[in-house]
Amino acid sequence: MKKKISLIVPCFNEEESLPFFFEEAVRVLNELPAYDSEMLFVNDGSSDKTLQVLKELSGKDERVKYLSFSRNFGKEAAMYAGFCNASGDYVAVMDADLQDPPSLLPRMLDILESGEYDSVATRRVSRKGEPPIRSFFARMFYKIINRISDADVVDGARDFRLMKRDMVDAIVKMSEYNRFSKGIFGWIGFRTYWLPYENVERVAGETKWSFWKLFKYSLEGIVNFSQMPLTLASWMGIIFTAISFIMLLFVVVRKIVFGDPVAGWASLVCIVVFLGGIQLFCLGIMGQYQAKTYLETKKRPHFIISETNEEDAVKVK
Ligand code: UDP
Ligand code: MG
């Protein structure tokens, strides 16, 4: 029996790039006659004609399957829906804007077929065409998260990777509500080959990620895969308690020896404000974790599919 490749493609307002992606993906898949294939497009609540385009494509090619969300659930949810519904022996996640070139697939397949690896992941070797401040923050993020968590996240790693079935099953099992796929891929382990490639600009349309959205996403990543911020908060508490004892001693001794307790109002206010700030900061950190726990305990579904051409699709999970 032929092995099957599933391509998972999250799409949010991608009406312009989809035809380009489809053409390129079909070209590459046709070059791989030894494999069956399916293209699993996940329409993440687009407000443009993405769904219409997908329906047209599915009419043209029976390998096209679409899962359409009832609203925008985010790329993480879209990828999860893809993993839950992909039936291939090999599964790849790729962006609809051709920034993850399908032309790399044959090489990635070869590497997996050789049997030495369970997944082939891609990383950009350059950040050309990206604002320098964004690159700077991205580098910092990778440094920090690798230092403080178990999820080993490679700098420049993209979500684009080809995986064997076992790995996909493990990802589906990781059903946490707050998802950070780069962390999940790293956390589950398996033998991964890193394939470097030059950054490609998006073929059409615009990026959905503002600097602010990326910044928030990176904080998510840290909170989801590390307890370090909590430890930091505890340590700050211990250190400042120690300092306050020393200061207390200092004030008492000064009063006894010099008899002058009143001076120093300004420094007092500074200290009170400073400690107030630290306390709020630490409370905030705890709040972040508590908020995550709150959401996890609700066990809300990750996604809701309102329309699809797959009869036995997992529609809510
Ligand atoms: N995407 C999605 N849901 C969202 C935002 C993005 O499914 O809420 C998809 C988008 O259609 C694209 C991929 O995620 O296929 C990557 O998005 P984008 O190209 O905007 O990000 P960038 O490449 O600029 O990081
Ligand atoms: Mg992109």
d(CA 174, CA 265): 55
* Ligand 1 pocket test target in 46, 47, 208 with most atoms within 8 Å of CB: 208
- 3-state helix, strand, coil split of the chain in percent (to 5) is 50, 15, 30
Q: Which of these, 95, 81, 89, 97, lies nearest to 42 by C-alpha position?
A: 81
pTM above 0.75, yes or no: yes
Residue 97 has pLDDT above 80, yes or no: yes
Nearest bound ligand to CA 9? 1
- Nearest ligand 1 atom, CA 95: 15
Separation of alpha carbons 167 and 172, rounded Å: 9
Q: Could you give the residue ranges of the DSSP H alpha helices within the chain?
A: 18-30, 50-60, 75-85, 105-113, 132-148, 165-173, 181-187, 211-225, 228-258, 265-298
Question: Would you say 119 and 189 are in contact if contact means Cβ atoms under 8 Å apart?
Answer: no
Share of the chain above pLDDT 70, in %: 98
Distance CA 101, CA 196 (A): 12
Which is the closest atom of ligand 1 to the Cα of 208? 20
In this predicted structure, the answer to whether residue 167 has a pLDDT above a threshold of 70 is: yes
The answer to whether residue 241 scores a pLDDT higher than 90 is no
pLDDT in tens, 274-305: 888 888 888 888 888 888 898 899 999 999 99
Percentage with pLDDT > 90 across the chain: 49
How many Å lie between the centroid of ligand 1 and the Cα of residue 124?
Answer: 16
* Centroid of ligand 2 to alpha carbon of 71 (angstroms): 20
From the number of C-beta atoms within 10 Å of its C-beta (0-12, 13-18, 19+), residue 78 rates as: buried
Regarding beta strands 35-43 and 3-11, do their DSSP bridges make them parallel or antiparallel, or are they unpaired? parallel
Strand partners for 250: none
d(CA 200, ligand 1 centre) in Å: 14
Atom 18, ligand 1: residue with shortest CA distance:
207
Structure tokens of 13? 């307002």
Angle at the Cα of 120 from the Cα atoms of 117 and 122, rounded to 5 degrees: 150
Judged by average pLDDT, the poorest of 9-13, 190-194, 201-205, 288-292 is 201-205
Per-residue tokens: 165: 């079935």
Cα angle value 91/21/30 (rounded, 5°): 65
| Distance separating alpha carbons of residues 27 and 19, to the nearest angstrom | 12
11 Cα–ligand 1 center, Å: 7
In a 3-state reduction of DSSP, which class is residue 104? helix
CB 11 within 8 A of CB 97: no
- Our CA angle for 178, 144, 151, nearest 5°, is 50
